[in-house]
Chains A and B, each alone.
Chain A
Amino acid sequence: MYQYDQYDQAMVDARVEEFRDQCRRRLEGTLTEDQFKPLRLQNGLYLQLHAYMLRVAIPYGTLSGKQMHALADIADKYDRGYGHFTTRQNIQYNWIKLEDCGDILADLAKVEMHAIQTSGNCIRNISSDQYAGAAADELVDPRPYAELLRQWSSFHPEFAHLPRKFKICVIASEKDRAAMRLHDIGINIVKNAEGTLGVAFYVGGGMGRTPMIAPLIREFVPLDQMVTYSEACLRVYNRHGRRDNKYKARIKILVHEMGAEEYTRQVEEEFAHLLEQDIEPPIAELDRIRSYFQPPEFATGLAEKADRSDPDFALWIDRNCSPHKVPGYVSAAISLKPVGGIPGDASAQQMHLMAELAKDYSFDECRVTHAQNIILPHVEVGRLYELWEKLDEAGLGTANLDQVGDIIACPGLDYCSLANARSIPVSQKISERFAANGKGELLGELKLKISGCINACGHHHAGHIGILGVDRKGVENYQLLLGGSEAEDVSLAKITGPGFNEDGIVDAVETVADLYLERREDGERFLDTYRRLGMDTFKEALYG
């Protein structure tokens, strides 16, 4: 894992003291809320429905056990004993007091964490594949490249006031587990025909009120020009992105309106100019960063198969464990989606346990996924059973990864001041319905995603089944969408038709699931059947 050098630590410590002073001035009344708001947002502090909310950055979702313990301690000491893992691989606390903010950030800084650039119109936390460094199918560990970009983008003066927020994702496999093409910039590390590693740039994707899939604008940028090309992409956006209308200010709108071809032409022109300026960090810096991401000392000669005699454990292996690049290891997913639970929430006690399990079973490392679960990336197959037993005892052993109960849900109207409808109760009802009627066991992979407003924090556009909560004359109403995917077969879900009330949307999900069960062909997932049959067949089942 990356470790701060003296410059990183000094920058973060200085920011803590600066924000502590700003909070003090706000509490004393020498700063108005209008003056304070942009300052608190730069430090991840929002004012939500019930209280201040603090969003803490977890770069590319990677955490040490010590850091997870620190997050649990913050939940206990300053919040109400829990935290919420988000679709940007971060964590949010919902009940923060302004007077505690300085101390919280100081506690985070002690474990090399912060909340900088988790809000505002800047480059946000850089996300990545939760199986980075472990996945059997990756070309390289993408995290050193994500870290390099994190350092480049942190406090970058030119990009501190972009037209709108900016999200970058870095992956290094053909399989997309991080919704790469639904980012402002999606970076895929690839090999060219000569076998040389480089970077493919996808620019102008996103969800929100105008969902777009990022087009490929450059198939191959040499690795030692990645930062320069990123800078060129940002510069063109910063120059031409709209600032008159926040709903049209994201880069996806610019790329769409300008046209991908013209946008690319301007980026290439800027890139050529920047190459002359020699802004790329020296390769020694990438090597320095890379040295922190060396694989742990894996054992050899380990058992490659587990004893599957316990059927519940066997199911958990099948659903929650992923292939590892080293024989005898797997990556194990800890579901934060128990039946009827709150997606992404974990108590301080659960966080402490996950930290201990990371230390004992996974070389002291865990990951947060964009689907709001936790991964232990390097677990010996032969120790999986004891791990699973400990998880199960703590309510963390649910075997439902990528199943209908593994629902992504934004905080919705229960917490969020932007939301129009509640997301979490709908996810709970769906989860409970499919557990009770047993159909959840029959459905296989089915990604269901719920957002409580058009901003799409719950990724509803990318759900095999998506649900969007809207306000219809003061009453919650839910639109059903079908056919989305955030993976390498990326697609945007389409609305089926008129919306439903809270109970009606649960029935509607069951209706489309029933149609799938009735009409699926061998090996088809829900998404495959939907794509084969088409929207009209599903509409007919829903509306007659």
Chain B
Amino acid sequence: MKILTGNDLKSGAVVWWDGQGWSTHITEAVDAGENADSIIATEDAARRVNAAYAIDAEQTEDGPRPAHIKDRVRALGPTIRPDLAVPAADKMGWDWVI
């Protein structure tokens, strides 16, 4: 699947395209399929998100899992600060990243 991500304009927070707007939770990301480029163009023009891009991900029971570790780190937060994780610290979360 293709999911879309970027950073929120105001906060810089990592956000994911949920079909209607941008969510900070990757679990809410939806498959953008062939519409990825047009959604990015529209959202970029509307200045709602910074540097949006499409990534490959795998749909799992726990939601989409990005193919690349960089986006998995982006999804959860710094692996060395579980207290800053998004969502809040999940013991299994870091296994999901690595």
| Contact A49-B69, Cβ < 8 Å, known A98-B9, A415-B78, A422-B79 | no
Q: Are A425 and B80 in contact (CB under 8 A)?
A: yes
Q: What 0/1 pattern do residues 465 to 480 of A give for CB contact below 8 A with B? A: 0000000001110000
Chain A residues with Cβ below 8 Å from B73 are: 49, 413-414, 422
**A175 at interface, CB cutoff 8 A:** no
Q: Are B78 and A51 in contact (CB under 8 A)?
A: no
Of B47, B50, B67, B79, the residue contacting A474 (CB under 8 A) is B67
Q: Are B12 and A51 in contact (CB under 8 A)?
A: yes
Q: Are B80 and A428 in contact (CB under 8 A)?
A: yes
Chain A residues with Cβ below 8 Å from B13 are: 50-51
Q: Are B12 and A97 in contact (CB under 8 A)?
A: yes
**A47 at interface, CB cutoff 8 A:** yes
Please give the distance in Å from B85's CB to the nearest CB on chain A. Answer: 10
A51–B24 Cα distance when bound, in Å, is: 12
Chain A residues with Cβ below 8 Å from B78 are: 50, 94, 414-415, 424
Q: What 0/1 pattern do residues 39 to 70 of B give for CB contact below 8 A with A? A: 00000100100110000000000000001111
A95–B10 Cα distance when bound, in Å, is: 11
Please give the distance in Å from B87's CB to the nearest CB on chain A. Answer: 14
Please give the distance in Å from A432's CB to the nearest CB on chain B. Answer: 13
| Contact A47-B69, Cβ < 8 Å, known A425-B79, A428-B80 | no
Interface residues of B in 65-90 (CB under 8 A from A): 67-70, 73-74, 77-81, 84
A428–B11 Cα distance when bound, in Å, is: 29
Q: Are A49 and B14 in contact (CB under 8 A)?
A: yes
Please give the distance in Å from B63's CB to the nearest CB on chain A. Answer: 19
**A80 at interface, CB cutoff 8 A:** yes
**A336 at interface, CB cutoff 8 A:** no
Closest B residue to A36 using CB positions: B50
A33–B43 Cα distance when bound, in Å, is: 12
Most buried by B among A94, A96, A98, A342: A98
A475–B69 Cα distance when bound, in Å, is: 7
Of A33, A47, A97, A414, the residue contacting B10 (CB under 8 A) is A97
Closest A residue to B45 using CB positions: A32
Please give the distance in Å from A482's CB to the nearest CB on chain B. Answer: 26
Q: Is the contact region of chain B dominated by helix, strand, or loop, or is it mixed?
A: loop
Interface residues of B in 1-35 (CB under 8 A from A): 7, 9-14
Chain B residues with Cβ below 8 Å from A29 are: 47
A47–B50 Cα distance when bound, in Å, is: 9
Please give the distance in Å from B83's CB to the nearest CB on chain A. Answer: 9
Of A32, A424, A474, the residue contacting B80 (CB under 8 A) is A424
Chain A residues with Cβ below 8 Å from B47 are: 29, 32
| Contact A476-B69, Cβ < 8 Å, known A50-B74, A342-B80, A415-B78 | yes
Interface residues of A in 35-69 (CB under 8 A from B): 47-52
A342–B78 Cα distance when bound, in Å, is: 12
Please give the distance in Å from B10's CB to the nearest CB on chain A. Answer: 6
Chain B residues with Cβ below 8 Å from A476 are: 69
Of B7, B67, B69, B79, the residue contacting A51 (CB under 8 A) is B7
**A17 at interface, CB cutoff 8 A:** no
**A99 at interface, CB cutoff 8 A:** yes
Most buried by B among A33, A80, A97: A33
Of B11, B44, B67, the residue contacting A97 (CB under 8 A) is B11
Q: Are A413 and B51 in contact (CB under 8 A)?
A: no
| Contact A47-B51, Cβ < 8 Å, known A27-B10, A98-B10, A99-B10 | yes
Interface residues of A in 393-431 (CB under 8 A from B): 413-415, 417, 419, 422, 424-425, 428
Q: Are B12 and A98 in contact (CB under 8 A)?
A: yes
A476–B73 Cα distance when bound, in Å, is: 12
Closest A residue to B46 using CB positions: A29
Closest A residue to B80 using CB positions: A424
A425–B69 Cα distance when bound, in Å, is: 15
Q: Are B10 and A49 in contact (CB under 8 A)?
A: no
Interface residues of A in 426-472 (CB under 8 A from B): 428
A342–B83 Cα distance when bound, in Å, is: 14
A475–B77 Cα distance when bound, in Å, is: 18
Q: What 0/1 pattern do residues 17 to 29 of A give for CB contact below 8 A with B? A: 0000000001101
Chain B residues with Cβ below 8 Å from A413 are: 69-70, 73
A428–B78 Cα distance when bound, in Å, is: 14
Closest A residue to B7 using CB positions: A47
A428–B44 Cα distance when bound, in Å, is: 39
Chain B residues with Cβ below 8 Å from A96 are: 12
Please give the distance in Å from A68's CB to the nearest CB on chain B. Answer: 22
Please give the distance in Å from A233's CB to the nearest CB on chain B. Answer: 36
Chain B residues with Cβ below 8 Å from A26 are: 9
A424–B82 Cα distance when bound, in Å, is: 13
Chain B residues with Cβ below 8 Å from A342 are: 80-81
Chain A residues with Cβ below 8 Å from B67 are: 474
A52–B14 Cα distance when bound, in Å, is: 10
A94–B7 Cα distance when bound, in Å, is: 14
A342–B44 Cα distance when bound, in Å, is: 36
Chain B residues with Cβ below 8 Å from A27 are: 9-10
6 residue pairs of the A-B complex, CB under 8 angstroms, read A47-B51, A49-B70, A49-B73, A98-B12, A413-B69, A422-B73
The 7 tightest CB contacts between A and B, nearest first, are A51-B12, A52-B12, A414-B78, A29-B47, A424-B80, A97-B11, A49-B74
What 6 new A-B contacts, CB under 8 Å, besides A48-B12, A50-B74? A26-B9, A47-B51, A98-B9, A417-B70, A474-B68, A476-B69
Please list the residues of chain B having a beta carbon within 8 angstroms of any beta carbon in chain A: 7, 9-14, 44, 47, 50-51, 67-70, 73-74, 77-81, 84
